[in-house]
Amino acid sequence: MRKKSMTKRIMAMILSVIMVLSLAGCSGGGNKNNSDNASTTNQGKSDTGSKDNGSKDSAVDTSKHEVINFLVLGNKPTNGRLEAMLKELNKILTEKVNAELQLTYVEWADWQTQYNVQLLSGDTSLDIITTATDWLYAWENTQKGAFLPLSDDMLKTYAPKTYEQVSADGDWDICKYNGEVYFIPEDHYTQYTNHGMFYRGDWAKEAGLTDGTVSKFEDLTTYFKYIKDNKDGVIPWDAGKNSGDLLGFYIQSHTNYRNLIGVNAGNYAIWSTKPDDATVSAPFMEDDTIYAAADLMKQWNDMGVWREDVLNYDGDSREEFYAGTSGADQHHSQTFYSQVKPNMDTKQAGSDSKMYAFGSENSNIAKDLKTHGAAAISANSKHPERALMVYDLLRNDEQCYRLINYGIEGTDYVITDDGKLGYPEGYDQSTDALGSDYWCGRNDDLELVNSFTWSGRPDMIEGLNKIAYDYEYENLIINKDKIDTEQAAIASVLSEYWPQLAWGKFDNPKEKIDEMRAKVKAAGYDDVKASIQADLDAFKKSQSK
């Protein structure tokens, strides 16, 4: 029924466009050049009250004002800057496509659950949805009917600039399910979101590490021990309960297992293959490295690397890192070079902050997927066409792009004398950030070089490019209907053991790992593994044709 309904919608849309174009006839045609609007060149207006939407010689009826609701991830800012930005942005959107934008936030507390509930709730107020194939369940939500299929005609008509760019890069195929496009990739933006530990190079040097550098996972033990023994009032890593999968990071740094993306058991990314070996396995079930990982976590716990109540603590380790009361923080490379490094250089002058990337010692780091950020249109949207028009402007119009990404010039940012992105005097990213969390349409062509971003960013990215691999299964879609029950049962077992192992809370980790393995086996491990293997085998066969 959904597919038939969608076909009728598309046919109706195409017919309406044809009728409007017929009415416009020879009257719509003068060239219009506006240096402030990269997406409204060479356009005409029809007699129906329509406004430019960014496509050449197009005439789309925008006589009815629409509110476009954009679902984003993150804690909603409370400093008033977002609201001020939206007020200015909506003036432009109203002028160009007679629409305004509002943002709905899925906040970080229990975000995995809340995000999927929001998408599958049938909420007709949602229009644009932030998604991703590696961390925001894009394929799963596509299969469950959360997203609207997007035809070529629909994309060409309502998001022409985006369609042109994605087509030029040949990336529509990575967004297709059963032959139809379901989301738009953020494929024109350079970033690295691999994980790693941020630490202080000055303290690492004092700890005796060569060049003050953590070059392998075990060096962190030396670093943490030095802080515990020598820095009063500092917690080596004042981590919170959601600070990262230490067991997984250890396995990544000591083996060549590569995670299969988008096939989590609950919140646990456990399924893997190895390079040039399309054999599915879960390393914690089939490799002894997990024992060494859990032993080290117990050692760190006993050392006092983190708080005793880490499993209940939800503090902000980054702010504590900035304040000098925590010796470490954990997140992405992008976070390091764009936020942490420059902030530490200012707030902890001389700290020589650095990042140890998990998997760097054995070159087990994946390049970002082009669908690490993506935009979908809700299947329940009342005005998907206008939503695409708004998205096209956010992604391609310089005025709109700067507002949604940077805020209001002079208040949220400034342009330096050398043409770079800068910030007003007294600006503090910790409290003054815009917080729009626009992570699904960034565009290198419109990005400003950030004067705040660490100058070593290009060298860091070049270094990662030399060792990182391309993920080979970007188009692999697992049939989750076959394994949902077993995956849920496995996730339930893991939730009982994994956090306790990851934060070193079991007295006998090996005993608990063996218990966990037995329960995971009983929960249907072999059946899930066989089902994923069958899907992978079919994918490999299709790629070889």
**Per-residue model confidence (pLDDT) at position 276:** 85
The residue among 27 and 398 whose pLDDT is bigger is 398
pLDDT tens, position by position, 456-495: 999 999 999 999 999 999 888 898 889 999 999 999 999 9
**Per-residue model confidence (pLDDT) at position 513:** 98
d(CA 354, CA 340): 9
Domain 2-27+62-190+371-406 part of CATH 3.40.190.10: yes
d(CA 536, CA 478): 8
Share of the chain above pLDDT 90, in %: 78
**Per-residue model confidence (pLDDT) at position 310:** 95
Q: Where are the domains of the chain?
A: 2-27+62-190+371-406
pLDDT tens, position by position, 337-350: 999 999 999 999 99
Per-residue confidence band for 59, with pLDDT thresholds at 50, 70 and 90: low
pLDDT tens, position by position, 195-222: 999 999 999 999 999 999 999 999 999 9
Share of the chain above pLDDT 70, in %: 89
Average pLDDT score over residue span 93-119: 94
Contact 21, 50 (CB under 8 A): no
d(CA 500, CA 496): 8
Q: 180-181 and 176-177: which strand pairing?
A: antiparallel
36: pLDDT strictly greater than 60: no
Average pLDDT score over residue span 489-505: 97
Contact 345, 351 (CB under 8 A): yes
pLDDT tens, position by position, 109-150: 889 889 999 999 999 999 999 999 988 989 989 989 999 999
What is the value of pTM for the model shown?
0.78
DSSP state of 46: -
pLDDT tens, position by position, 221-275: 999 999 999 999 999 999 988 888 899 999 999 999 999 988 889 889 999 999 9
20: pLDDT strictly greater than 90: no
